[in-house]
């Protein structure tokens, strides 16, 4: 993002629309207690499931317009994901919402203590363009499960999906509790001026800093999912044929526009010479000899991102792919070899179908290289060595780790999804999402009798001794 674009974001408030009335209406609805009701939450989550099932064809078409997504990718990573997330939350809603008893020490007896989950209030969810349905509505499912009202702001860079969300949400969900705001920088800037009770933002680190600065004015907590350069370490003992297939799938799904895609490979020279041809074989098996003609391969979201990605193709020797077509927003699945660690392609998250291979002769060297950069959203290692696995898990700090595969941790509902450091903060999937959008209120109830005099003045040495024993 250019400096002028950042300035536009920061200076756009003056010309931005005013959503104060929308926010106050949602606040009033929340204060009425409507969204707290478990039956309401259950009904809204069921409606979200139904929306995914009944409008699958329209959603698939919108995702194809925006990103050229194949129907299978649209279903697995977007439609089914959102519907499944809503179903998962709905089935566990009552258990999550129950008070959670905690131990009450002797000094506080007779009494009982518990944590009471309560909704935060009115929350803002700012979605992203690469998975424009999933990264908007999965967060909404968590917010609904926790009993909140919400404003959702889909990405303007996926206009067909944004328009469809704006059309469908009022038809299926309670418009007094859930509102959609479309638009770009002015609309987002105006929303960020409001004192929301929580903000979930998915996107890049530059905008995340603006979101945090705006949230700080209202002491609004934030959850950030930001991505980063997710490394993929391949050791010589890995099953290289399976490794190649799984890396190719993780990297080139959605034309590489995935925040948890393997960003680059770290491996030694001998392993590289065997692995790269196998990645080429995997690409051909998935997309054919001409991926541009494949119904299974997507397109770059817009010309600006196409131009950015095209400028990175010269960062190494093009071993596989390299073809491009600006009018069609097409960049072939590409593997670069001979990539220097200070090259342009290694300076920021690629977010496209370009896979650099960086030489790293040992696991020690790979770990040091990863740790010298920002903490990534995902970290991948392929090996049969359990000691190497343990070292990678313990020594590489990242949001999520997957051993001998890519991205598949997203299929596990019980795992949190979120970043650490520059790759984000907080989590919003499953029960972790419920907790993100809830306040775990501490509650204690005391009995009236007996009311021991130990804690009251005047303080005596005997009281002091007794209290020390009770503690």
Output the domain CATH number for residue 353.
3.40.309.10
Q: Do 195 and 267 sit in the same domain of this protein?
A: no
Element holding 114 (H helix, E strand): strand 111-119
Give every CB contact of residue 8 below 8 A, 6+ residues apart in sequence: 185
Preceding peptide of 381 cis, ω within 30°: no
Residue 9 has pLDDT above 80, yes or no: no
Count of positions (residues) in the chain: 471
In a domain, 302, yes or no: yes
In a domain, 468, yes or no: no
Q: Do 389 and 427 sit in the same domain of this protein?
A: no
Which residues are registered as beta bridge partners of 335? 320, 355
Least confident of 13-27, 73-87, 196-210: 13-27
Q: Do 217 and 285 sit in the same domain of this protein?
A: no
Give me the pLDDT at residue 13, please.
Answer: 45
- What would the mean pLDDT of 253-257 be, rounded to a whole number? 97
Backbone angles phi, psi at 121, to 5 degrees: 140, -110
Phi-psi region of 321 (alpha: psi -120 to 50; beta: other; left: phi over 0): left
Annotation marks residue 319 as catalytic: no
Give me the pLDDT at residue 273, please.
Answer: 98
Residue 429 has pLDDT above 90, yes or no: no
Residue from 49, 225, 272, 319 carrying the catalytic annotation: 225
In a domain, 71, yes or no: yes
Give me the pLDDT at residue 250, please.
Answer: 98
Q: Do 351 and 213 sit in the same domain of this protein?
A: no
Give every CB contact of residue 167 below 8 A, 6+ residues apart in sequence: none
String of DSSP letters for 346-393:
GSS---SSEEEEEE--SHHHHHHHHHHSPPPSEEEEE-S-HHHHHHHH
Which residues are registered as beta bridge partners of 101? 114
CA angle 154, 160, 165 (to 5 degrees): 45
In a domain, 455, yes or no: no
Residue 460 DSSP one-character state:
-
Give me the pLDDT at residue 8, please.
Answer: 53
Q: Do 402 and 288 sit in the same domain of this protein?
A: yes
Render pLDDT for 147-157 as a digit per residue (tens, 0 to 9).
999 999 999 99
Residue 468 has pLDDT above 90, yes or no: no
Preceding peptide of 110 cis, ω within 30°: yes
Among residues 203, 243, 244, which one has the least CA distance to residue 223?
A: 203
The CB-based long-range contact list for 2-10 (8 Å cut-off, 24+ gap) reads: 6/206, 6/210, 8/185, 9/185, 9/188, 9/189, 9/207, 9/210, 10/210
In a domain, 453, yes or no: no
Q: Do 239 and 220 sit in the same domain of this protein?
A: no
At 232 the three-state DSSP class reads strand
Are 330 and 372 in contact by the 8 Å Cβ rule? The answer is no
Are 233 and 396 in contact by the 8 Å Cβ rule? The answer is no
Q: Using 50, 70 and 90 to split pLDDT, how confident is the model at 3? A: very low
Q: What is the pTM of this model?
A: 0.93
Are 202 and 128 in contact by the 8 Å Cβ rule? The answer is yes
Q: Do 100 and 41 sit in the same domain of this protein?
A: yes
What is the CATH classification number for the domain harbouring 191? 3.40.605.10
Q: What percent of the chain has pLDDT over 90?
A: 92
The maximal CA–CA distance of the chain, rounded, in angstroms, is: 88
Among residues 160, 155, 133, 157, which one has the least CA distance to residue 62?
A: 160
Give me the pLDDT at residue 12, please.
Answer: 46
Are 169 and 197 in contact by the 8 Å Cβ rule? The answer is no
In a domain, 456, yes or no: no
String of DSSP letters for 173-201:
S-TTTEEE---SHHHHHHHHTS--SEEEE
Backbone angles phi, psi at 321, to 5 degrees: 80, -135
Residue 5 has pLDDT above 70, yes or no: no
In a domain, 464, yes or no: no
Q: Which domain holds residue 286?
A: 231-411
Annotation marks residue 259 as catalytic: yes
User: Which of 390, 411, 432 is where one domain is finished?
Assistant: 411
Q: Using 50, 70 and 90 to split pLDDT, how confident is the model at 1? A: very low
Q: Do 8 and 118 sit in the same domain of this protein?
A: yes
Are 265 and 234 in contact by the 8 Å Cβ rule? The answer is yes
Q: Do 137 and 235 sit in the same domain of this protein?
A: no
Give me the pLDDT at residue 241, please.
Answer: 98
Q: Do 65 and 93 sit in the same domain of this protein?
A: yes
Q: Where are the beta strands (DSSP E) in 24-99?
A: none
At 261 the three-state DSSP class reads coil
Residue 94 has pLDDT above 60, yes or no: yes
Q: Do 311 and 283 sit in the same domain of this protein?
A: yes
Give the chain's domain count: 2
Residue from 89, 149, 177, 259 carrying the catalytic annotation: 259
State how far the alpha carbon of 437 is from the alpha carbons of 197, 223, 433, in Å: 9, 10, 6
In a domain, 146, yes or no: yes
Q: Do 288 and 370 sit in the same domain of this protein?
A: yes
């Amino acid at each position: 993002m250019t400096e002028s674009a950042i300035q536009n974001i920061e200076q756009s408030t003056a010309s931005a629309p005013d959503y104060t009335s929308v926010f106050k209406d949602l606040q009033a609805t929340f204060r009425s207690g409507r969204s707290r009701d478990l039956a309401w939450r259950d009904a809204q989550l069921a409606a979200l499931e139904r929306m995914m099932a009944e409008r699958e064809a329209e959603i698939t078409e919108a995702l194809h317009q925006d990103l050229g997504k194949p129907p299978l990718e649209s279903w697995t990573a977007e439609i089914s994901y959102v519907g499944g997330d809503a179903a998962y939350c709905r089935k566990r809603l009552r258990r999550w919402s129950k008070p959670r008893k905690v131990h009450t020490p002797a000094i506080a007896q007779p009494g009982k203590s518990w944590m009471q989950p309560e909704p935060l209030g009115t929350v803002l969810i700012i979605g992203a363009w690469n998975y424009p349905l999933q990264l908007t509505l999965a967060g909404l499912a968590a917010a609904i499960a926790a009993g909140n009202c919400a404003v959702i702001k889909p990405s303007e860079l996926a206009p067909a999906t944004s328009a469809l969300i704006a059309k469908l949400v009022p038809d299926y969900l309670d418009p007094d509790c859930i509102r959609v705001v479309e638009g770009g920088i002015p609309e987002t800037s105006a929303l960020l001026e409001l004192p929301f009770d929580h903000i979930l933002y998915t996107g890049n680190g530059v905008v995340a800093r603006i979101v945090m600065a705006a949230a700080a004015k209202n002491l609004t907590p934030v959850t950030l999912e930001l991505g980063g350069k997710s490394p993929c370490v391949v050791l010589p003992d890995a099953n290289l044929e399976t490794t190649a297939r799984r890396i190719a799938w993780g990297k080139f799904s959605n034309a590489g526009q995935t925040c948890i895609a393997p960003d680059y490979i770290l491996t030694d020279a001998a392993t590289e010479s065997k692995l790269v041809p196998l990645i080429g074989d995997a690409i051909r098996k998935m997309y054919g000899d001409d991926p541009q003609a494949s119904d299974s391969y997507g397109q770059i979201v817009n010309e600006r991102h196409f131009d950015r990605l095209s400028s990175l193709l010269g960062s190494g020797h093009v071993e596989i792919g390299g073809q491009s077509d600006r009018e069609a927003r097409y960049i072939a699945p590409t593997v670069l070899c001979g990539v220097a660690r200070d090259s342009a392609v290694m300076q920021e998250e690629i977010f496209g179908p370009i896979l650099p291979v960086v030489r790293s002769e040992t696991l020690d060297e790979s770990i040091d290289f990863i740790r010298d950069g920002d903490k990534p959203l995902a970290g991948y290692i392929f090996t049969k060595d359990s000691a190497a696995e343990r070292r990678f898990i313990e020594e590489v700090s990242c949001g999520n780790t997957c051993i001998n595969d890519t991205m598949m941790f997203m299929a596990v509902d019980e795992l949190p999804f979120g970043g650490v450091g520059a790759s984000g903060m907080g989590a919003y999937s499953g029960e972790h999402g419920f907790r993100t959008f809830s306040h775990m209120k501490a509650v204690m109830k005391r009995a009236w009798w007996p009311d021991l005099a130990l804690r009251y003045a005047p303080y005596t040495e005997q009281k002091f001794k007794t209290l020390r024993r009770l503690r």
